Amino acid sequence: DDDIVLGMYATQTWHRSRWEYGDGECFLFRLSPNPVCFKWNSKGPGGMLAVSSPSPSADEGSESAALDGSKSFNSTDGQSKNDSAQNENDAPPGEQAPRPPIEADQVMVSGREFISMGVGMDGASGLRLNEDLTRGTSSPAMGLNHISLLGDEHSKEHDDVFEVGLVEVYQLLREVDGRPVDCEY
């Protein structure tokens, strides 16, 4: 069985944008084989840390420890990236909106032809899906500490391009009123 289960946790709704968006709480993960979660590391270069689950040889009931307890992400001006980010419609007519600061290589990027998360030195994505979600690519991203999301065994035999068999999308809703968590009022 060669099924690989990959995923992205996005902190903002996917939308077409000329700039990167998302924040330090976005992450990439692999559920199968060998579950691993690639989280943002705000304490140094390289972006994300690989936080893997216990190996099959580990004692039952043991838990993997988080390598970085930090979850917050602030831009250079002290505001959250969500508060300081602008899109192309925020500029006055005839002017181009200023590019938001690039804080990290763990970002969400999307356009008409794709959605992606995580950026590599060569501009490739940690995980990228095409416009109709039928094909994907995965490349070592700076924030993934140059680890392939598909796993070393797969990377040696394939070019990290794959066909998508199934897509599942979940949106978190607030229990109190049923509104999306990322909804602005």
73-128 pLDDT, tens digit each: 222 233 333 333 334 444 455 655 554 444 444 589 999 999 999 877 777 888 99
DSSP classification of residue 179: -
Q: What mean pLDDT do residues 139-143 have?
A: 74
Max avg pLDDT among 71-80, 115-124, 141-150, 166-175:
166-175
Phi, psi of 18 (to 5 degrees): -80, -15
| pLDDT above 50: residue 178 | yes
Q: What mean pLDDT do residues 48-60 have?
A: 43
Cα separation, 40 vs 10, in Å, equals 12
Under 8 Å CB-to-CB from 71, ≥6 apart: which residues?
24, 25
* pTM value > 0.95: no
| pLDDT digit string, tens, across residues 12-48 | 889 999 888 888 788 899 999 889 888 776 544 445 5
Cα separation, 143 vs 131, in Å, equals 24
Q: Domain spans of the chain? A: 1-185
